Amino acid sequence: HKHLVIFDFDNTISEGNTDTVVMDMVTDEAEAAKLWSTEQTRNWTKLVNSFLNHLFENGVTVQEMAAELRKMQLVSGMVELLKFLGENPQKFKVVIMSDANSFYIETLLEEYGLENVVSEIFTNKALLEDNGRVCVIPCHSHDHEECPVNMCKGVLIREFIKRLKNEGEVFSSICYVGDGSNDFCASINLSSDDFVFPRAGFMLDKMIRKSRRTPSMNQVDAEVIVWQSGTEIMEKLKQMIF
């Protein structure tokens, strides 16, 4: 029996938000406030691109951004969890679904020697132009109005599972690990055979708790296991295969 383990990235694998770490490299407070003020009228990907463009125009290089990202810590126990999954490829397939971007995610995975653990990454694509400017392209388009325009994890999961089945890959369960509000759509697309791991005290945890008190909200059918450390998730996954 093989299990599919899907991770969010920011505040799930990384301790903190990779987007805002790079955004904070805009040291001019007035300029940063001006860029942030556009958040209400522009989607997040466009906002990220505004910051990346400002950094480029002010001489900040890709190498400097990568160096700042490499200072980030991973969530407690996450290195051990991911290494355990990487050591058991016959039991687990590991995927990332994140509203960050490929440059940030790949930089941190490489920093911690975890790039070979992950089979596939669904995220916004970062492109490095010839002049050194980084721009981010939305992950996909969809028609689910409740999710960000550039990413619906519910749609991504449904399409991914369908593709895997067509390729002959079937899993005993899907385990989804996340923290944020955009992980709720992913969670409600799982079955009673699956598992959702919301990070304790974060928005996904709060939304699942609220949904249980609110019958009109979409419900999570999967078993819910709240976690604080990656080692707690690892212990549960060990029980599933041993």
10 noted as active-site residue: yes
The phi-psi region of residue 77 (left if phi > 0; otherwise alpha if psi is between -120 and 50; otherwise beta) is left
SS3 call for 53:
helix
8 noted as active-site residue: yes
Q: Residue 193, annotated ligand binder?
A: no
Q: Residue 221, annotated ligand binder?
A: no
Q: Residue 143, annotated ligand binder?
A: no
SS3 call for 182:
helix
Give how far Cα 104 sits from Cα of 21, 31, 67, Å: 10, 23, 11
φ/ψ of 127, rounded to 5, equals -115, 135
Pairing of strands 134-137, 120-128: antiparallel
Count of beta carbons in the 10 Å neighbourhood of residue 53? 14
Query: Under a CB-based contact definition with an 8 Å cutoff, are residues 40 and 65 in contact?
Result: no
Length of the chain equals 242
User: Of the residues 10, 183, 194, 205, which is catalytic?
Assistant: 10
Q: Residue 194, annotated ligand binder?
A: no
Spell out the alpha helix ranges (H) of the chain. Answer: 18-23, 29-36, 44-57, 62-70, 78-86, 102-111, 153-166, 184-187, 203-213, 230-241
Binding-site residue ranges for Mg(2+): 8, 10, 179
Binding-site residue ranges for substrate: 19, 99
User: Which residues does the annotation mark as catalytic?
Assistant: 8, 10
Binding-site residue ranges: 8, 10, 19, 99, 179
